[in-house]
């Protein structure tokens, strides 16, 4: 097997394993319950493409970041995400109104949904394990294109799974319940990142 294929499959396997239980799946799932599936998928795919380019381009620099700084930034990011999700999940808004706004084209345009999805996932991927893993593989294997493609395909696979699940359950589950659950999950990730500082 050529070095390029080894790099591609290594990146795909590692990033897929890191992302399946990660916030990327949860965030994409929540977005799909709020917006139509295609704009969400388009937005997150573009976010992943940009983040993969950044990780590949600055791989050696990202791997030099102190672990303490990365843990603090990740904890802060999860904490903000948890706050926003829980605030919306426990707000007084009518779920019936939200369901109506999500059925059919509604008032939210494709572009707005895609841009919102892009922003959420672009911010969430900063300092993420998959970004650091991609950068580390670039530094170790020395094949940035193959590593970038492998990481991107893994991220898109996770996003596709989340969009598929979200589209199937969006009419069967209360959006606020998903937001609350995701908020508590994000809070758990924040606590875990802070706990890593003590270990």
Q: For 119-156, how does the pLDDT look when each residue is reduced to its tens digit (9 = 90+)?
A: 888 877 776 777 777 877 777 777 889 999 999 999 99
* Long-range contact set of residues 74-78: C-beta below 8 Å, sequence gap at least 24: 74/127, 74/128, 74/189, 74/190, 74/193, 75/190, 75/191, 75/193, 75/194, 75/197, 76/190, 77/123, 77/124, 77/126, 77/127, 77/190, 78/23, 78/186, 78/187, 78/189, 78/190, 78/193
Residue-level pLDDT at 195: 81
pLDDT at 103 over 60: no
pLDDT at 157 over 60: yes
Q: What is the mean pLDDT of residues 35-47?
A: 91
Q: What is the mean pLDDT of residues 55-71?
A: 67
pLDDT at 102 over 70: no
Alpha carbon distance 179, 43 (integer Å): 20
Q: Average pLDDT of the chain?
A: 77
Q: Read off the pTM.
A: 0.65
Residue-level pLDDT at 131: 77
Q: What is the mean pLDDT of residues 102-126?
A: 76
- The lowest-confidence range among 95-99, 111-115, 123-127, 163-167 is 95-99
pLDDT at 44 over 90: yes
Residue 27: pLDDT band by 50, 70, 90 thresholds? Answer: confident
Residue-level pLDDT at 48: 92
CB 160 within 8 A of CB 44: no
Q: What is the mean pLDDT of residues 186-194?
A: 78
pLDDT at 95 over 50: no
pLDDT at 60 over 70: no
- pLDDT-above-90 percentage for the chain: 12
pLDDT at 96 over 60: no
């Amino acid at each position: 097997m050529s070095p390029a294929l080894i790099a591609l499959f290594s990146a795909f396997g590692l990033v897929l394993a890191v992302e399946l239980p990660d916030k990327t799946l949860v965030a994409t799932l929540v977005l799909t319950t709020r917006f139509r599936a295609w704009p969400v998928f388009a937005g997150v795919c573009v976010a992943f493409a940009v983040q993969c380019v950044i990780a590949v381009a600055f791989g050696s620099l990202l791997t030099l970041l102190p672990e303490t700084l990365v843990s603090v930034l990740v904890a802060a990011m999860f904490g903000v995400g948890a706050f926003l999700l829980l605030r919306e999940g426990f707000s007084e808004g009518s779920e019936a109104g939200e369901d109506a706004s999500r059925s059919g084209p509604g008032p939210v345009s494709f572009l707005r949904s895609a841009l919102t999805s892009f922003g959420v996932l672009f911010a969430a991927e900063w300092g993420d394990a998959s970004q650091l893993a991609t950068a580390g593989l670039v530094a170790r294997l020395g094949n940035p294109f193959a590593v970038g493609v492998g990481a991107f395909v893994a991220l898109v696979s996770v996003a596709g799974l989340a969009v598929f699940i979200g589209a199937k359950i969006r009419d069967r589950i209360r959006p606020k319940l998903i937001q609350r659950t995701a908020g508590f999950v994000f809070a758990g990730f924040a606590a875990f990142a802070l706990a890593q500082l003590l270990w």
